[in-house]
Amino acid sequence: MVVLDVIKNLVKDTSTEGGVKNIILWSNSHDLAQEYYESYIKMQLGLKLVGPLNVTLHSIPVWSQFTNFSDEMPWCLSMTPAELFLGDYEYGVSDQVKRTHEELIKYWMYTQQILTIQIDYTPGLDHPNIIKHEQW
């Protein structure tokens, strides 16, 4: 499978960022991401599935969760639009916090500090560094 070979090479590319990279599985569904993880990532790459991010009101910002994931490095994280874009809180989460959260995670994705694999048609992200594996 060509896409899986590309993923393997990018994950283990030590020429940038100094080592094995973490993976975000971008999808509309954590169940679909779990299935993809079980089919491809777990056996082929051995990364542990962490998360999903807890984006409830009292867990924002989520940076401590990423810190906790460091115990499992390198890791694989399922992420949906709700966890990236934070939805609409009626109170408690400012627009600035939402933008900071979204922009920092996008920065990691777009610069390939975290390898991102889109496994279904999930709108909201469009960047050449996001690997599309929609036909698996």
Cβ neighbors of 84 (< 8 A, separation 6 or more) are 101, 102, 105, 106, 124, 125
At 12-23, the pLDDT tens digits run 765 555 566 899
Nearest Cα to Cα of residue 70 among 45, 42, 50? 50
**pTM for the whole structure:** 0.86
pLDDT at 6 over 90: no
At 78-120, the pLDDT tens digits run 999 999 998 766 677 888 888 999 999 999 999 988 999 999 9
Domain ranges of the chain: 2-94+111-132
Q: Judge contact between 28 and 82, C-beta under 8 A.
A: no
pLDDT at 133: 82
How many CB atoms lie under 10 A from the CB of residue 16?
Answer: 11
